[in-house]
Amino acid sequence: MHLNAFGEGVAYDAMAAIIAGYKLGINIDDCIRGILNFSPNNGRFEVEKYGKNVSLVNDAYNANPSSMDMSLETFSTMYPKDLYYRIVVLGDMKELGDVSEIMHKELGEKVKQYEFNQVYYVGDMFSTFGVGKKLENADEVSTMLTEDLKRVGDRKIAILLKASNSVGLSKIPEYLKKLGL
């Protein structure tokens, strides 16, 4: 079947949902139909197109170490570095408690391995994250992205937004639309 969502983790979740539904007595065809009708929304790996060259992945509803890993891996698979100018805008993973610093440091190390063209970061953990350029808020991100898009020109561009919801990155698609992108 073809899912309307992206990521290896989504495929595993779909399989688990079908199995659970079947074990609870739901007809397998109804389980499959339900999965096929699912589509992500509210900043959960939503892919939006801007013009013919720009793809923006809004995955800014929530963030934790495993969702960051899945998002970065899926984004990199969908938008390979030899075909796209890749921009990632990341932000704090909230509510990690005592492991927050180590998780943000590990995230920064992973991000380096992907060789993204631009890395921006919004949040208090930037110095621990240690990669890219620190931006203060969604307004500043929108301005920077607008400048990047103009500078890159006609090349295919992919942008990933990923952070805990309270960072505010989920506002960026609306800002970009208001700017005429």
pLDDT tens-digit readout, 28-65 = 899 888 888 877 667 778 898 888 899 999 999 889 99
| Residues 55 and 8 placed together within one structural domain of the fold | no
| Residues 67 and 106 placed together within one structural domain of the fold | yes
Quick check: 85 pLDDT over 70? yes
Report the range of poorest mean pLDDT among 9-13, 28-32, 68-72: 9-13
| Residues 164 and 141 placed together within one structural domain of the fold | yes
Alpha-carbon distance of 140 to 134, in angstroms, equals 10
Average of per-residue pLDDT across 151-173: 93
Based on C-alpha coordinates, what's the Rg of the chain?
17
Looking at residue 127, its pLDDT comes to: 96
When the pLDDT of each residue in the chain is averaged and rounded to a whole number, the result is 90
Task: Give the CATH number for residue 68.
Answer: 3.90.190.20
pLDDT tens-digit readout, 87-130 = 999 999 999 999 999 999 999 999 999 999 999 999 999 999 99
Looking at residue 56, its pLDDT comes to: 94
- Tell whether pTM > 0.85: yes
Nearest to 61 by CA among 176, 171, 170, 158: 170
Average of per-residue pLDDT across 15-23: 91
Looking at residue 158, its pLDDT comes to: 97
pLDDT band at residue 10 under the 50/70/90 scheme: confident
| Residues 113 and 138 placed together within one structural domain of the fold | yes
| Residues 35 and 62 placed together within one structural domain of the fold | no
| Residues 29 and 91 placed together within one structural domain of the fold | no
Residue 26 structural domain? 1-39
* Pair of tokens at residue 39: 């589509």
1 against 85, higher pLDDT: 85
Quick check: 131 pLDDT over 90? yes
112 against 1, higher pLDDT: 112
Number of domains within the chain:
2
| Residues 159 and 85 placed together within one structural domain of the fold | yes
